[in-house]
Amino acid sequence: MVIPMKKPANKWTLAQYIVGLLVAATLALSVVMLIYVYFFAKIAINYDIQRTVTEAAAAKSKYVSLKKGKLTVKDGFDEHEGNITALVINKKGEALYGDYPRGAPEFTELYLLHAQSVRWGGELWYVRDRFKGRLIDPESGKKRKIYIRTIVNKKDVSSEYESMAVFAYCSILLLCGAVLVTAVFFCRRIKRSMDAMCRSAENIGKDFNISKRITYEGNIYEIDVLNEANNRMLDRMEHILKQQEQFNSDVAHELRTPASVTLAQCEYAQKHLDNQEEVDNAFQVIYRQSGKINEIITQLLYLSRLEQGRAILHLEEIDLQEVAESVIEDEADSLEDMVEIRKNLAPAETMGDISLIMIVLKNLLGNAIKYAQGKPVEVATGRQGARVFLSVRDHGRGIAAEELDNIFERFYKEDKARNSEGFGLGLSIARKIMELCQGEVTAESKVGEGSVFTLWFQPLAKNSQNESEKITDNNIKGF
């Protein structure tokens, strides 16, 4: 029984990661924005108050006149307009007209360039001084400078920037809240899709049903790609398992017959030990069946070595025409004119392992002779397009179209009764050898017309284009 995997306490889900990152990013951005708004608002409010007291000093100056060195304040001079206090002072800061507001710094030094901020009594005051003219002192008769001073306590002044700052603070908080709510919403949607994928994966393991597939119904491209990759992996695993099951069945079937025959002959020989002729016949049968078993095991080991990449490759320059001549000569000696082998050979040079290519050609030629039904077998070499080829054609019964995709599988036989000669490993070995030699083997066939198997190779670089144009592709026409 497979127990569904539970999330460890120290592990986060994808949704938790996303929400956590968004929360951290949102909080960090909010802090930065709040700091920025705070300093910006502080500067803006300070500037706004300074501008206000400066404008007030300029406005009050219109109501103060110095005619003949005497101070005259008109009725329009309002000492307390709003929260701003205006007064006329001398160089020492003493009030000549008007009074300082309670708690204000009365002896602040004059500063004419711009409004100054003065912290006094734990409060912040803004002071603006403006030179007005010279006043004649009635006692000494000397002229003394007088100034217009406006002063205000910061807490008594409201700036439009304060409202803007409050609005900014609220907007930042609302934005953070909206981002977090949106993040949680989308994370829940992602989590639902991911949970469905996890449940599908757990069910596949729990039910031992590899034919099931992981489902994803979300809209995130990367997760969809990952899901498709997992499903392709499951397809491949299912295919491999089916191949393994078929392989086990095929090996058992192929070995069962010779093993059964061998056992039966051993029992028969044991019962007829007194008859030397019967014993000799039994041993001959046992020898042949043991040879079949040995051949199956040898071919399986060779195929396994090819599939695992443990076969040693000896590359050299070879001419497929010469290879074909050699193999045909060997086969012709053993055929005793049972089947005619026709040759249509042209130079076809390539790089390859001559021993491996000869194994492939012997397999193809043996199959062609087996199914030729007494008709001629044709072997051709040459060049077609950018590749060189070696082909073997028979004019026998042919192979059905639905069978062509399977003939290169291990132990596959078109004869479903499995009583034909051979073990169904030759074409599998041929395909693996061609892959090792960086070539390709193809098959074409029509029922009742025969089959053609073609080995394709890359030509040698020294082959010129002029030479290749002289060699036609008539030797390897399809059906």
Number of structural domains found in the chain? 3
For residue 416, what are the contacts with CB-CB under 8 A and spacing of at least 6?
none
Residue type, 442: T
CATH number where 237 lies: 1.10.287.130
On whether both 239 and 296 belong to a single domain, the answer is yes
pTM over 0.85: no
Distances (CA, A) of 216 to 204, 226, 332, 442: 15, 10, 62, 39
Give me the count of residues in the chain: 479
On whether both 401 and 342 belong to a single domain, the answer is yes
User: Does any domain span residue 248?
Assistant: yes
User: Does any domain span residue 196?
Assistant: no
CATH number where 396 lies: 3.30.565.10
On whether both 286 and 325 belong to a single domain, the answer is no
Per-residue pLDDT of the chain (479 residues; tens, 9 = 90+): 344 445 555 556 666 677 777 778 888 888 888 888 888 888 888 888 888 888 888 888 888 887 777 788 887 787 887 788 888 888 888 888 888 888 888 878 888 888 888 888 888 888 999 888 888 776 667 788 888 888 988 887 776 677 777 888 888 888 888 887 887 787 777 777 777 777 777 777 776 777 777 777 777 777 778 888 888 888 888 877 776 776 666 566 566 767 787 888 888 788 877 888 878 888 888 887 787 677 667 666 665 666 556 666 677 888 888 888 888 887 776 665 677 888 888 888 888 888 888 888 888 888 888 888 878 889 999 888 888 999 999 888 888 877 777 777 766 655 543 344 555 667 777 787 787 777 888 888 888 888 899 999 888 875 444 444 443 344 444 43
For residue 415, what are the contacts with CB-CB under 8 A and spacing of at least 6?
none
Q: In sequence order, what DSSP letters do the residues of 85-154 get, joined into one string?
A: EEEEEETT--EEES-PPTT--TTPPP--SS-EEEEETTEEEEEEEEEEEEEE-TTT--EEEEEEEEEEEG
On whether both 235 and 353 belong to a single domain, the answer is no
User: Does any domain span residue 328?
Assistant: yes
User: Does any domain span residue 110?
Assistant: yes
Range of 124's domain? 63-155
Distance CA 199, CA 202 (A): 5
